[in-house]
Amino acid sequence: MRSLIRHPEFRRGVGDMVAPSLGIAAWGLVTGVAMVKSGMSVPTAAAMSVLVNAGSAQLAALPLLVAGAPLWVVWATAFCVNLRFVIYSAHWRAYLGHLPRWRRLAATYFSGDLTYVLFVRRFPELKRQPEQLPYFWGSTVWGWASWQAASLLGIVVADYVPTEWGLGFAGVLALLGITYSQLSDGKIRVAAAISACAAVAAFAMPLKLNILVAIAAGVASGLLLDRAAPESVREGA
Protein backbone atom coordinates (compact mmCIF):
# COMPACT_ATOMS: atom_id res chain seq x y z
CA MET A 1 0.00 0.00 0.00
CA ARG A 2 2.67 2.45 1.06
CA SER A 3 4.89 1.58 -1.89
CA LEU A 4 1.88 2.12 -4.15
CA ILE A 5 1.35 5.67 -2.87
CA ARG A 6 5.07 6.50 -3.00
CA HIS A 7 5.37 5.29 -6.60
CA PRO A 8 5.94 8.24 -8.99
CA GLU A 9 3.13 6.94 -11.22
CA PHE A 10 0.67 7.38 -8.33
CA ARG A 11 1.49 11.09 -8.31
CA ARG A 12 1.23 11.20 -12.08
CA GLY A 13 -2.22 9.59 -11.88
CA VAL A 14 -3.30 12.23 -9.36
CA GLY A 15 -1.81 14.99 -11.53
CA ASP A 16 -3.64 13.86 -14.66
CA MET A 17 -6.91 13.84 -12.73
CA VAL A 18 -6.59 17.33 -11.18
CA ALA A 19 -7.92 19.36 -14.14
CA PRO A 20 -10.80 17.01 -15.06
CA SER A 21 -11.74 16.71 -11.38
CA LEU A 22 -13.06 20.29 -11.47
CA GLY A 23 -15.71 19.11 -13.92
CA ILE A 24 -16.32 16.01 -11.79
CA ALA A 25 -16.77 18.22 -8.73
CA ALA A 26 -19.31 20.51 -10.42
CA TRP A 27 -21.23 17.48 -11.62
CA GLY A 28 -21.10 15.95 -8.12
CA LEU A 29 -22.42 19.19 -6.64
CA VAL A 30 -25.40 19.14 -9.02
CA THR A 31 -26.06 15.49 -8.20
CA GLY A 32 -25.98 16.15 -4.46
CA VAL A 33 -28.35 19.10 -4.70
CA ALA A 34 -30.68 17.27 -7.09
CA MET A 35 -30.93 14.26 -4.78
CA VAL A 36 -32.06 16.28 -1.79
CA LYS A 37 -34.27 18.64 -3.79
CA SER A 38 -36.09 15.67 -5.34
CA GLY A 39 -37.25 14.64 -1.89
CA MET A 40 -34.47 12.52 -0.40
CA SER A 41 -33.45 13.05 3.21
CA VAL A 42 -29.88 14.20 3.86
CA PRO A 43 -28.69 10.89 5.43
CA THR A 44 -30.31 8.82 2.65
CA ALA A 45 -28.76 11.00 -0.04
CA ALA A 46 -25.35 10.81 1.66
CA ALA A 47 -25.56 7.01 1.90
CA MET A 48 -26.59 6.82 -1.74
CA SER A 49 -23.71 9.03 -2.83
CA VAL A 50 -21.04 7.08 -0.95
CA LEU A 51 -22.34 3.54 -1.62
CA VAL A 52 -23.72 3.77 -5.15
CA ASN A 53 -20.88 6.02 -6.36
CA ALA A 54 -22.34 6.41 -9.88
CA GLY A 55 -23.67 9.84 -10.84
CA SER A 56 -25.84 9.24 -13.88
CA ALA A 57 -27.30 5.99 -12.50
CA GLN A 58 -28.18 7.81 -9.26
CA LEU A 59 -29.83 10.66 -11.14
CA ALA A 60 -31.75 8.25 -13.36
CA ALA A 61 -32.94 6.26 -10.34
CA LEU A 62 -34.07 9.42 -8.55
CA PRO A 63 -37.42 10.20 -10.26
CA LEU A 64 -38.27 6.49 -10.07
CA LEU A 65 -37.55 6.28 -6.32
CA VAL A 66 -39.53 9.47 -5.71
CA ALA A 67 -42.49 8.00 -7.63
CA GLY A 68 -42.25 4.78 -5.57
CA ALA A 69 -41.52 2.56 -8.59
CA PRO A 70 -40.89 -1.15 -7.85
CA LEU A 71 -37.24 -1.65 -6.97
CA TRP A 72 -36.58 -4.07 -9.82
CA VAL A 73 -37.58 -1.32 -12.26
CA VAL A 74 -35.22 1.11 -10.50
CA TRP A 75 -32.36 -1.41 -10.58
CA ALA A 76 -32.99 -2.42 -14.21
CA THR A 77 -32.91 1.23 -15.26
CA ALA A 78 -29.66 1.88 -13.38
CA PHE A 79 -28.21 -1.27 -14.91
CA CYS A 80 -28.96 -0.01 -18.42
CA VAL A 81 -27.54 3.45 -17.69
CA ASN A 82 -24.39 1.73 -16.35
CA LEU A 83 -23.94 -0.61 -19.31
CA ARG A 84 -21.03 1.45 -20.60
CA PHE A 85 -19.06 0.19 -17.59
CA VAL A 86 -19.64 -3.38 -18.78
CA ILE A 87 -17.79 -2.42 -21.94
CA TYR A 88 -14.99 -0.78 -19.94
CA SER A 89 -14.71 -3.88 -17.74
CA ALA A 90 -13.86 -6.03 -20.76
CA HIS A 91 -11.00 -3.60 -21.35
CA TRP A 92 -9.95 -3.47 -17.66
CA ARG A 93 -9.57 -7.24 -17.78
CA ALA A 94 -6.46 -6.89 -19.91
CA TYR A 95 -4.83 -4.66 -17.26
CA LEU A 96 -6.26 -5.95 -13.96
CA GLY A 97 -7.11 -9.58 -14.80
CA HIS A 98 -4.04 -10.94 -12.97
CA LEU A 99 -5.14 -9.59 -9.55
CA PRO A 100 -7.17 -11.68 -7.07
CA ARG A 101 -10.92 -11.37 -7.70
CA TRP A 102 -11.80 -9.09 -4.78
CA ARG A 103 -8.96 -6.70 -5.62
CA ARG A 104 -9.95 -6.34 -9.26
CA LEU A 105 -13.62 -5.85 -8.27
CA ALA A 106 -12.63 -3.23 -5.67
CA ALA A 107 -10.55 -1.43 -8.29
CA THR A 108 -13.37 -1.20 -10.84
CA TYR A 109 -15.95 -0.33 -8.16
CA PHE A 110 -14.04 2.86 -7.35
CA SER A 111 -13.20 3.70 -10.98
CA GLY A 112 -15.27 6.04 -13.13
CA ASP A 113 -15.57 7.21 -16.71
CA LEU A 114 -12.60 9.54 -16.46
CA THR A 115 -10.29 7.05 -14.77
CA TYR A 116 -10.94 4.78 -17.72
CA VAL A 117 -10.36 7.48 -20.34
CA LEU A 118 -7.13 8.69 -18.71
CA PHE A 119 -5.82 5.18 -18.13
CA VAL A 120 -6.37 4.01 -21.70
CA ARG A 121 -4.72 7.18 -22.99
CA ARG A 122 -1.71 6.63 -20.72
CA PHE A 123 -1.43 2.88 -21.46
CA PRO A 124 -2.84 2.34 -24.96
CA GLU A 125 -1.16 -1.05 -25.30
CA LEU A 126 -3.19 -3.93 -23.89
CA LYS A 127 -0.18 -5.17 -21.96
CA ARG A 128 0.43 -5.43 -18.23
CA GLN A 129 3.08 -3.07 -16.79
CA PRO A 130 4.15 -2.56 -13.16
CA GLU A 131 3.46 1.20 -13.21
CA GLN A 132 -0.19 0.72 -14.20
CA LEU A 133 -1.56 -0.06 -10.75
CA PRO A 134 -0.05 2.99 -9.00
CA TYR A 135 -1.27 5.19 -11.86
CA PHE A 136 -4.72 3.63 -11.67
CA TRP A 137 -5.03 4.24 -7.94
CA GLY A 138 -3.64 7.76 -8.15
CA SER A 139 -6.26 8.92 -10.64
CA THR A 140 -9.02 6.82 -9.06
CA VAL A 141 -8.47 8.08 -5.51
CA TRP A 142 -8.38 11.71 -6.64
CA GLY A 143 -11.43 11.34 -8.88
CA TRP A 144 -13.41 9.49 -6.21
CA ALA A 145 -12.54 12.01 -3.49
CA SER A 146 -13.43 15.04 -5.63
CA TRP A 147 -16.73 13.47 -6.63
CA GLN A 148 -17.71 12.47 -3.08
CA ALA A 149 -16.61 15.74 -1.48
CA ALA A 150 -18.60 17.79 -3.99
CA SER A 151 -21.63 15.53 -3.84
CA LEU A 152 -21.72 15.59 -0.02
CA LEU A 153 -21.28 19.38 -0.09
CA GLY A 154 -24.24 19.59 -2.49
CA ILE A 155 -26.33 17.41 -0.17
CA VAL A 156 -25.62 19.64 2.82
CA VAL A 157 -26.04 22.91 0.92
CA ALA A 158 -29.30 21.74 -0.70
CA ASP A 159 -30.97 21.74 2.71
CA TYR A 160 -30.63 25.53 2.71
CA VAL A 161 -31.92 25.97 -0.85
CA PRO A 162 -35.69 26.62 -1.13
CA THR A 163 -37.57 23.80 -2.90
CA GLU A 164 -39.45 26.38 -5.03
CA TRP A 165 -36.22 27.01 -6.94
CA GLY A 166 -36.79 23.64 -8.57
CA LEU A 167 -33.16 22.52 -8.42
CA GLY A 168 -34.21 18.88 -8.59
CA PHE A 169 -34.53 19.59 -12.31
CA ALA A 170 -30.80 20.31 -12.52
CA GLY A 171 -30.35 16.53 -12.34
CA VAL A 172 -32.50 16.12 -15.46
CA LEU A 173 -30.47 18.83 -17.22
CA ALA A 174 -27.28 16.95 -16.30
CA LEU A 175 -28.65 13.74 -17.82
CA LEU A 176 -29.74 15.75 -20.87
CA GLY A 177 -26.14 16.88 -21.42
CA ILE A 178 -24.89 13.29 -21.15
CA THR A 179 -27.60 12.15 -23.57
CA TYR A 180 -26.64 14.76 -26.18
CA SER A 181 -22.98 13.79 -25.91
CA GLN A 182 -23.88 10.19 -26.78
CA LEU A 183 -26.03 10.86 -29.86
CA SER A 184 -23.09 9.87 -32.03
CA ASP A 185 -24.82 8.61 -35.18
CA GLY A 186 -28.16 8.55 -36.97
CA LYS A 187 -29.26 5.15 -35.71
CA ILE A 188 -28.64 6.07 -32.08
CA ARG A 189 -30.64 9.29 -32.62
CA VAL A 190 -33.58 7.34 -34.06
CA ALA A 191 -33.44 4.80 -31.22
CA ALA A 192 -33.34 7.67 -28.67
CA ALA A 193 -36.30 9.45 -30.29
CA ILE A 194 -38.37 6.25 -30.28
CA SER A 195 -37.47 5.59 -26.65
CA ALA A 196 -38.44 9.16 -25.68
CA CYS A 197 -41.83 8.92 -27.40
CA ALA A 198 -42.50 5.48 -25.87
CA ALA A 199 -41.67 6.71 -22.35
CA VAL A 200 -44.12 9.60 -22.67
CA ALA A 201 -46.84 7.65 -24.50
CA ALA A 202 -46.72 4.77 -22.00
CA PHE A 203 -46.49 7.05 -18.96
CA ALA A 204 -49.88 5.95 -17.63
CA MET A 205 -48.66 2.36 -17.19
CA PRO A 206 -48.50 1.19 -13.58
CA LEU A 207 -45.21 0.53 -11.70
CA LYS A 208 -43.26 2.99 -13.89
CA LEU A 209 -43.16 0.25 -16.52
CA ASN A 210 -43.13 2.97 -19.18
CA ILE A 211 -39.37 3.21 -18.56
CA LEU A 212 -38.78 -0.46 -19.38
CA VAL A 213 -41.17 -0.31 -22.36
CA ALA A 214 -39.22 2.68 -23.67
CA ILE A 215 -35.83 0.98 -23.20
CA ALA A 216 -37.11 -2.13 -24.99
CA ALA A 217 -38.53 0.00 -27.82
CA GLY A 218 -35.28 1.96 -28.18
CA VAL A 219 -33.02 -1.11 -28.20
CA ALA A 220 -35.33 -3.06 -30.53
CA SER A 221 -35.47 -0.21 -33.03
CA GLY A 222 -31.70 0.14 -32.89
CA LEU A 223 -31.20 -3.57 -33.57
CA LEU A 224 -33.72 -3.41 -36.44
CA LEU A 225 -31.87 -0.45 -37.97
CA ASP A 226 -28.60 -2.39 -37.66
CA ARG A 227 -30.18 -5.23 -39.58
CA ALA A 228 -31.71 -2.94 -42.21
CA ALA A 229 -28.48 -1.03 -42.93
CA PRO A 230 -25.56 -2.99 -41.45
CA GLU A 231 -22.86 -1.24 -43.49
CA SER A 232 -23.29 2.11 -41.77
CA VAL A 233 -22.65 0.50 -38.38
CA ARG A 234 -18.92 0.57 -38.93
CA GLU A 235 -19.11 4.05 -40.32
CA GLY A 236 -20.90 5.28 -37.20
CA ALA A 237 -18.67 3.50 -34.70
Partner 1 sequence: MIPGLYATLGIAGLAAVTVVTRGFFLFSDREIELPAWAVQGLRYAPIAALVAVISPEIVLTDGALISTWQDARIYAVVAATAYFWWRRGILGTIVTGTAVLLALKIGLGW
Least separation, in Å, of the C-beta of 80 and partner 1? 4
Closer residue to partner 1 (CB): 148 or 221: 221
- In the bound state with partner 1, the residue whose beta carbon lies nearer, of 15 and 68, is 68
* Separation between Cα atoms, residue 217 and residue 219, nearest integer Å: 6
Measured from the Cβ of residue 37, the count of other Cβ atoms closer than 10 Å reads 24
* C-alpha R_g of the chain: 19
Is residue 10 within 8 Å of residue 134, measured between CB atoms? yes
Minimum distance from residue 73 beta carbon to partner 1 (Å): 11
With respect to partner 1, which residue has the nearer C-beta, 82 or 129? 82
User: Shortest approach of partner 1 to residue 146 CB, angstroms?
Assistant: 14
Task: Please report how close the Cβ of residue 184 comes to partner 1 at its closest, in angstroms.
Answer: 9
- H/E stretch holding 62 reads helix 55-66
Question: Residue 146 is inside which H or E element, if any?
Answer: helix 132-158
Closest CB to partner 1 among residues 11, 209: 209
Shortest distance (Å) from residue 160 CB to partner 1: 15
Q: Which is nearer to partner 1, 14 or 78 (CB)?
A: 78
Residues 6+ apart with CB under 8 A from 188: 182, 222, 236
Contacts of 100 (CB under 8 A, 6+ apart): none
